[in-house]
Structure 1
Amino acid sequence: MPVRVVESSAPSPAPGQDANPGHALPPACTLLGVGQTFAGTQNVSSSQKDEAWKVNVRIQGFDPAHGYLCGIMEALNVPYAETPVVTFWEGEIIDSKNYTFYTGKWEATPDDDVKHWSQFSSFSPLLSQVKADGGKSLDLSNYPYIFMNSDQLYFPLQRWKEQYFVNVSVDCGLTIAGFYYVCFSCIDGSINGFYYDPNSSPFQKLELKSTNEGRSGFSFSSYQLQ
């Protein structure tokens, strides 16, 4: 299996310079960038069980001009797994330019999108405009949260989609068919998310906190992502 991580980040434009004319870039955030790590839990409770997996996340790539970021996620205490389960994920930054609040894939309907984004209190002021046009007309450049569906810029919301298993086979008994609605706070570096998969228990909550501001703290085992 892979043995080494390859990291990359798109070059940032000069201060005051826009990578795409006509679109203002948001201000800097030192809590989200390539190499940044986060630790916390994912609640996978259902009517039959009450369980939380320990989770580590590392940001590995970031391209703000295209609303893109990626990284690895490590689940540490997955039942029946002999080792931590590592997945590679790619993220879509909700910037009203590259990506809107409506997912348009992965079996998510606009109603699913609104229900999940509405789990975040910071989404409330945006709700009426999102229902009107998916949020296309919103200016998110100065919003203090990042919603995900990062070298030192920030945006409000994101989506994270696990693409493949890094260190286990696809028949490991786990699924990565769904994706995460994610909200990153540039105020304290916390990440909250909810997993969506119509075939899994709903609203599985992801809660992470920054662990290495200034690039110190725990580190992952190394993997080569191919």
Structure 2
Amino acid sequence: MPVRMVESPAPSTSSGANPGQTSLQPCSLLSVGQTFSGTQNVSSPQKEEAWRVNVRIQGCDLNHGYVCGTMEALNVPMADTPVVTFWEGEIVDTKNYTFFTNKWKATPEVDIDHWTKFSSFSPLLSQVEVDGGKSLDLSNYQYLFMRWKEQYFVNVGADCGLTIAGFYYVCFSCVDGSINGYYYDPNSSPFQKLELKTTNEGRSGFSFSSYELQ
């Protein structure tokens, strides 16, 4: 059974010569091989639609703010098979990455609009507006904030009818392993919500087919 972290108070502003340089604490629920299952709401004004989604963590390096994995989307209308993508993620640790994306067509205003969708971000907002959160101490906060960027399709071609031009703003709970996210792509429906829960693969979870990552 995964070890649960003790709930901690809201992060404080770092003090001393190197603000924001504290390291994040390991989270047993964000580890290589961990799987998650849930849905992504892709509804448009014309149609209500949600895809079933499975995620597996393939790599995690907290010292460098790095995480990667595979995402499998099922019941995608324009695809004959589940669509699997490989993604790489930036963990907001105020050392390697801040809350400001500075790429992928995301402005600070877009960042704030998406991060504020998460209630756990509320205690951080005022400081993030000042410096992107550089001076925050997130080392013992019970939530991890990340950006996931899909890099390529694993089992289908780029002409499958789907786009991976955007990226996900993600909030991960170290208490129960739940994941909430919002997809951002100026050319896609706004605020597509990703909701995942940790699974025990082979028991109450799901099974991935075998895919060779490039």
Q: After TM superposition, list the pairs within 5 Å mapping 1:89-100 onto structure 2.
A: 89-100=87-98
| Number of matched pairs | 195
C-alpha displacement of 1:165: 0.4
8 Å Cα contact 1:106-1:178 kept in structure 2: yes
In the other structure, the counterpart of 1:110 is: 108
C-alpha displacement of 1:212: 2.0
Report the TM-score when normalising by structure 1: 0.83
What is the RMSD of the two structures over their aligned residues, measured on CA atoms? Answer: 1.6
For 1:97-136, what per-residue CA distance to the aligned partner results, in whole angstroms no more than 9, with x for missing partners? 0000000000000000000000000000100100000111
Q: Which 5+ residue runs of structure 1 have no aligned equivalent?
A: 1-21, 147-156
Secondary structure of the residue that 1:39 maps to in structure 2?
strand
Kindly, what percent of the aligned residue pairs are identical?
78
Choose from 189, 193, 204 the match for 1:201. Answer: 189
Report the TM-score when normalising by structure 2: 0.88
Secondary structure of the residue that 1:192 maps to in structure 2?
strand
Separation in structure 2 between the aligned mates of residue 61 and residue 172 of structure 1, nearest angstrom: 26
In the other structure, the counterpart of 1:123 is: 121
C-alpha displacement of 1:219: 2.4
Separation in structure 2 between the aligned mates of residue 25 and residue 135 of structure 1, nearest angstrom: 14
Separation in structure 2 between the aligned mates of residue 213 and residue 125 of structure 1, nearest angstrom: 34
Secondary structure of the residue that 2:137 maps to in structure 1?
coil
8 Å Cα contact 2:168-2:182 kept in structure 1: yes
Choose from 150, 167, 172 the match for 2:160. Answer: 172
Query: Which amino acid is 2:178 matched to?
Result: S
Separation in structure 2 between the aligned mates of residue 225 and residue 192 of structure 1, nearest angstrom: 25
Query: Which amino acid is 2:192 matched to?
Result: Q
For 1:6-50, what per-residue CA distance to the aligned partner results, in whole angstroms no more than 9, with x for missing partners? xxxxxxxxxxxxxxxx74333332211000000000000110110
Secondary structure of the residue that 2:109 maps to in structure 1?
helix
In the other structure, the counterpart of 2:210 is: 222
For 1:129-174, what per-residue CA distance to the aligned partner results, in whole angstroms no more than 9, with x for missing partners? 000001111110011001xxxxxxxxxx000000000011001110
Choose from 187, 201, 221 the match for 2:175. Answer: 187
Q: After TM superposition, list the pairs within 5 Å mapping 1:35-74 onto structure 2.
A: 35-74=33-72
